[in-house]
Amino acid sequence: MPSADRTHQCDSVEPRIVVALDFASAGRALELVDRLDPGRCRLKVGKELFVRTGPELVKRLVDRGYSVFLDLKFHDIPNTVAGACRAAADLGVWMVNVHALGGKEMLTAARRAIDSDSQRPLLIGVTLLTSHDIQSLGEIGLQGDPLTGVTRLAELAQHTGLDGVVCSAQEASGLRARFAKDFRLVVPGIRAFGARTDDQRRVVTPAAAIAAGADYLVVGRPITRAADPLWALSALEQEMRSARRRLDR
């Protein structure tokens, strides 16, 4: 992998788009990966693909030069989460996440577990899932609007030494104003203007996410279901560049 990935530098050269490999088989995932470029995007491996294919697929993706975000959202007792994070680091992944709802002790254990690793991945906290709204939060006993909950959990993640959080773009602008630039904001739910939102409720365009202060954009269907995935990636890159130029004026 490029040295910038391992030192966690955040500049305009590194890939900011993370392609979500939301497939049920290694074969379909690798077919898409063969049509992409590790110099222009990173990859996200989530629960279904990991459960079906195991760590071997992650190793193959890393060996092909891709930076891999292992999106398993660890949430368990501190010792169990610490062991899972160490195992993820051993796979050579670029990023791994844990649920901030696991609390201070769990988050601290996760961070300490990978601090001594020579290839320490970024450790990112999951705040509130982008499928949540006020109603669904109330149904699980969490009062208040999503922004309040996300902000509180992001503060906990920062306090315990995590490298950033997953959040929606609607929350990103407030978090970017609150935290330093080295606190990464990973934004899922990216859709082109007018596209279907599917099962995510807090979705935005790439330009809006960049304007809000996002560092990395997680993109699934707009690329994975495109007839030409690399062309779709190029279109998103262009939209992001245009958004950055507007911000720099």
In the chain, domain spans: 13-248
CA separation, residue 104 to residues 40, 74, 155 (Å): 35, 14, 11
Q: Is 76 annotated as a binding residue?
A: yes
Residue 76 has pLDDT above 80, yes or no: yes
Instruction: Kindly state the percentage of the chain with pLDDT values over 90.
Output: 68
Q: C-alpha angle 102/166/174, rounded to 5°?
A: 110
Q: Is 22 annotated as a binding residue?
A: yes
pTM check: above 0.85: yes
Given this model, what pLDDT does residue 169 score? 82
Q: Is 72 annotated as a binding residue?
A: yes
Contact between 166 and 191 under an 8 Å Cβ cutoff? The reply is no
Partners of 164 in the β-ladder: 124, 184
Q: Is 73 annotated as a binding residue?
A: yes
Catalytic residue numbers read 71, 73, 76
Given this model, what pLDDT does residue 203 score? 58
Residue 11 has pLDDT above 80, yes or no: no
Given this model, what pLDDT does residue 197 score? 46
87 C-beta neighbours (distance < 10 Å), count: 14
**pLDDT mean over 181-201:** 70
Q: What is the CATH number of domain 13-248?
A: 3.20.20.70
Q: Is 75 annotated as a binding residue?
A: yes
Predicted confidence (pLDDT) per residue in 25-38, tens digit: 999 999 999 999 99
Query: DSSP letters of 170-200?
Result: HHHHHHHHHS-TTSEEEE--B--TT---TT-
Identify the helix (H) or strand (E) that includes residue 205.
none
Structure tokens at 63: 């060996």
